[in-house]
Amino acid sequence: MAKRALISVHDKTGAVEFGRALVGLGFEIISTGNTFRTLSEGGVAVTQVSAVTGFPEIMDGRVKTLHPLIHGGILARPIPAHLEEAREHGISLIDIVAGNLYPFRETIAVEGISLQDAVEQIDIGGPAMIRAAAKNFERVTVIAEPSSYEAVISELREHGVVSEETRRKLAAKAFRHVADYDACIAEYLENMTLNSN
């Protein structure tokens, strides 16, 4: 069975090189929106998430990866019941998730930024996808920082798999990435409330 990686990143540093390396290791790549365009223009063989789900990106990109064919592919454990359920529902497993989030902190640092513009930089699908992959580190490798690409490719080239220890460490980093992001949003909204009183 072919290995699959989902790459959906705001920070595209190293994404093309990472995608090329994964394809060279036999991975199928799926992606969304601007990341799909970046990978495709960089010569990476890539499939749009909408081609996997059969459903277009909607609501100005607010809904892209929030679909059972994506989250089922990430969350399925390597146990017979889950694998059978995935087959029954036509869900292909996703082995690697590379995701990082909209630039909320950078957006709110811009003087005079409107609340609406700030709110549009609150990522929903990204944290859900990253958390799902991090939760399932038993099977899935999650990458929330471009600086981790090289180590993952190195392990894949040397051993054919990413070690459980590395998957666990990357999961911890991913949860920290999302937690810091959410804390920034919470602080911003609390300050907005205080400033409006």
User: pLDDT per residue over 21-61, tens digit each?
Assistant: 999 999 999 998 889 999 999 999 999 988 887 676 766 66
Query: What are the tens digits of pLDDT across the range 95-108?
Result: 999 998 877 888 88
The stretch 148-169 carries a mean pLDDT of 96
User: What is the reported pLDDT for 194?
Assistant: 57
- Nearest-angstrom CA–CA distance, 172 and 174: 5
Amino acid in the structure at residue 192: M
- What is the distance between the alpha carbons of residues 85 and 80, in angstroms, rounded to a whole number? 8
Q: Mean pLDDT, to the nearest integer, of 131-150?
A: 96
HSE-up (13 A, CA, CB side) for residue 159:
9
Average pLDDT over the chain, rounded to whole?
A: 88
pLDDT value of residue 197: 45
Q: Is the pTM of this model over 0.85?
A: yes
Inform me whether the pLDDT recorded for 119 exceeds 60: yes
Quick one: pLDDT band at residue 148, thresholds 50, 70, 90?
very high
List, in order of start, the domains of the chain with CATH numbers: 3-196 (3.40.50.1380)
C-alpha span between 184 and 179 (Å, rounded): 9
And the tokens for 55? Answer: 């459903």
* Predicted pLDDT of residue 63: 67
Distance CA 122, CA 102 (A): 7
What per-residue confidence (pLDDT) applies to 58? 66
The more confidently predicted of residues 172 and 55 is 172
Question: Would you state the pLDDT for residue 1?
Answer: 60
